[in-house]
């Protein structure tokens, strides 16, 4: 009787996904809550991709996103891993600190009161 040893199959590496951590989501959802209370935003979507995590903000559900808050860890040592992208694809702000990057959106909350 011949016993054949099974050929080892190398395990496939699981595709890594980039995600927002708890602290980052706390900052983003805090801003989101203030903008919803102001009536500016109504819906959001989160995407965890292979090279980026994206938090998309919508005025209405069936539209294109107004803004995208993106996290690209590969850019961490260059221009910063966080970016706010407008509806037209233009990068509004990029940096290393999420709170300072999101200030570009908080300016929309400041209104003159008469």
Beta bridge mates, 57: 44, 67
pLDDT of residue 108: 66
* Residue-range domain boundaries for the chain: 43-107
Could you tell me the pTM of the whole model?
0.77
- Given a cut of 70, is residue 113 above it in pLDDT? no
pLDDT tens digits along 51-91: 889 999 988 766 788 889 999 888 888 888 899 998 888 88
Average per-residue pLDDT for the chain? 83
pLDDT of residue 81: 87
pLDDT tens digits along 33-46: 988 888 888 888 99
109 band by pLDDT with thresholds 50, 70 and 90 = low
Distance set, CA 65 to CA 8, 38, 46, 87 (Å): 47, 18, 11, 6
């Amino acid at each position: 009787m011949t016993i054949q040893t099974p050929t080892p199959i190398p395990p496939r590496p699981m595709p890594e996904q980039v995600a927002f951590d708890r602290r980052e989501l706390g900052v983003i959802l805090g801003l989101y809550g203030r903008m919803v209370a102001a009536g500016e935003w109504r819906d959001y979507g989160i995407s965890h991709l292979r090279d980026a995590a994206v938090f998309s903000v919508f005025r209405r559900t069936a539209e294109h996103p107004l803004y995208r808050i993106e996290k690209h860890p590969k850019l961490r040592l260059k221009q910063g891993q966080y970016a706010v992208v407008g509806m037209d694809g233009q990068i509004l702000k990029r940096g290393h600190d999420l709170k300072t990057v999101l200030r570009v959106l908080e300016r929309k909350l400041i209104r003159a009161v008469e």
